């Protein structure tokens, strides 16, 4: 007789895992929006040092990282939520806020973990289509908010489409969201976003919106994806406390915390990576446009392109893979005929463009 699992197991969609981790060294890994740069040497050294003490559980209040973030962004420690990657915070927020009868509103296509929140909680998901330029349609999203809405997710810049909205538009939207309803502004890629100005600008919004959380990560610009560290800056302590209430006691390991503190202290390195990424994304976008593809205006560390013929998607993705280049197929992310391509090293980007030239 088969094991009887909870009803929600049938509802929760499987996360579309990237292929190719077993292909060896000579592969351009452009499928998961990681950083092509290794972690800062001081971050590696700090993680090493912390390893020597892992017979103990990590400090459950995570003071060093909490304090470093509080100092950098001027947000009280009690309003900072930490997590084993920002995904961990997202899922915990879903658990804290959602239940059957509640509603969650988000744009689609957006980050592939969002559908998990409604499926796991039994809440109703309202997916609002992106506009014709693959950007969030905030008017359409605002129109979907009802008394039942508990959580709104805005992904800025949006994964997978790379597009972003300026803070004026975000603030006008926030003014239309009732205070009982939490908003998570998912800023996993904010360091790369020219439309946002800098990483402090959106922090200002927290002063006026206690129902807001800015969700961020060390997995992208800071190059610590494998260590799993995310954080959320909250507009109120209540929001942080409710999220922490549903979690396991030790959710962030000590080497990860130590590395994140060091990485945060090396903003010069972050800036260097961001400028490499911004110029490389222009080259990639121009290269793809030159091959006849439509390319979204990217504000992230990846580009999003519609192929000249949507039916080519499968052939192109496998052709790229045969040439040692891994990208994400749009069909696994909610849009047939598109590709999401992470910015890699100079050589990886050239290999991708060269292979696309052969295939198209």
Given a contact cutoff of 8 angstroms between Cβ atoms, the answer to whether 132 and 294 are in contact is no
E strand or H helix at 183, and its extent?
Answer: strand 182-186
State yes or no: residue 145 binds ligand PLP (CB under 6 A). Answer: no
User: How far is the C-alpha of 83 from the C-alpha of 347, rounded, in Å?
Assistant: 34
Q: Taking CB under 6 A as the criterion, which residues in 75-94 touch ligand PLP?
A: 85-87
Identify the CA nearest to 300 among candidates 186, 145, 150.
Answer: 186
Radius of gyration in angstroms for the set of CA atoms belonging to the chain, rounded to a whole number: 20
State yes or no: residue 35 binds ligand PLP (CB under 6 A). Answer: no
Residue with smaller CB distance to ligand PLP, 145 or 333: 333
User: How far is the C-alpha of 91 from the C-alpha of 69, rounded, in Å?
Assistant: 21
Minimum separation from the CB atom of position 107 to ligand PLP (A): 11
State yes or no: residue 217 binds ligand PLP (CB under 6 A). Answer: yes
Minimum separation from the CB atom of position 229 to ligand PLP (A): 7
State yes or no: residue 190 binds ligand PLP (CB under 6 A). Answer: no
CA pseudo-torsion sign 331, 334, 337, 341: negative
For the chain, the residue count is 360
Identify the CA nearest to 160 among candidates 356, 14, 295, 319.
Answer: 295
Minimum separation from the CB atom of position 291 to ligand PLP (A): 26
Out of 225, 241, 278, 312, the only residue in the binding site for ligand PLP (CB under 6 A) is: 225
Minimum separation from the CB atom of position 147 to ligand PLP (A): 28
Minimum separation from the CB atom of position 188 to ligand PLP (A): 4
Residue with smaller CB distance to ligand PLP, 127 or 350: 127
CB atoms within 10 A of CB 204: 12
- Residues lying near ligand PLP in the complex (CB under 6 A) are found at 33, 85-87, 111, 155, 159, 186, 188, 217, 219, 225, 230
């Amino acid at each position: 007789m088969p094991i009887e699992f909870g009803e929600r197991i049938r509802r929760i969609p499987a996360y579309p895992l990237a292929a190719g981790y077993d292909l060896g060294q000579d592969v351009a890994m452009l499928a998961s929006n990681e950083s092509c740069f290794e972690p800062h040497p001081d971050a590696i050294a700090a993680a090493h040092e912390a390893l020597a003490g892992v017979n103990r559980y990590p400090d459950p209040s995570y003071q060093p990282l909490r304090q470093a973030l509080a100092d950098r962004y001027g947000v009280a420690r009690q309003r900072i939520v930490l997590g084993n990657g920002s995904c961990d915070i997202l899922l915990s927020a879903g658990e804290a806020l959602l239940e059957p009868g509640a509603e969650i509103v988000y744009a689609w296509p957006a980050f592939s973990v969002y559908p998990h929140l409604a499926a796991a909680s039994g809440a109703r998901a309202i997916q609002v289509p992106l506009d014709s330029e693959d950007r969030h349609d905030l008017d359409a999203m605002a129109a979907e908010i009802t008394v039942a809405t508990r959580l709104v997710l805005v992904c800025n810049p949006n994964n997978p489409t790379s597009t972003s909205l300026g803070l004026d538009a975000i603030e006008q939207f926030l003014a239309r969201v009732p205070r009982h309803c939490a908003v998570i502004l998912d800023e996993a890629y904010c360091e790369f976003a020219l439309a946002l100005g800098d990483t402090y600008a959106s922090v200002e919004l927290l002063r006026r919106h206690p129902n807001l959380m800015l969700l961020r990560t060390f997995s992208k610009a800071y190059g610590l994806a494998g260590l799993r560290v995310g954080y959320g800056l909250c507009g109120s302590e209540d929001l942080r406390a409710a999220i922490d209430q549903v979690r396991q006691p030790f959710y962030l390991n000590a080497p990860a915390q130590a590395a994140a503190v060091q990485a945060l202290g090396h903003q010069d390195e972050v800036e260097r990576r961001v400028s490499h990424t911004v110029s490389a994304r222009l080259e990639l976008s121009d290269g793809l446009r030159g091959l006849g593809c439509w390319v979204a205006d990217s504000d992230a560390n990846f580009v999003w392109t519609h192929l000249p013929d949507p039916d080519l998607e499968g052939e192109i993705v496998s052709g790229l893979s045969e040439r040692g280049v891994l990208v994400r197929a749009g069909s696994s992310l909610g849009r047939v005929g598109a590709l999401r391509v992470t910015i890699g090293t100079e050589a990886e980007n050239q290999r991708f463009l060269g292979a696309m030239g052969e295939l198209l």
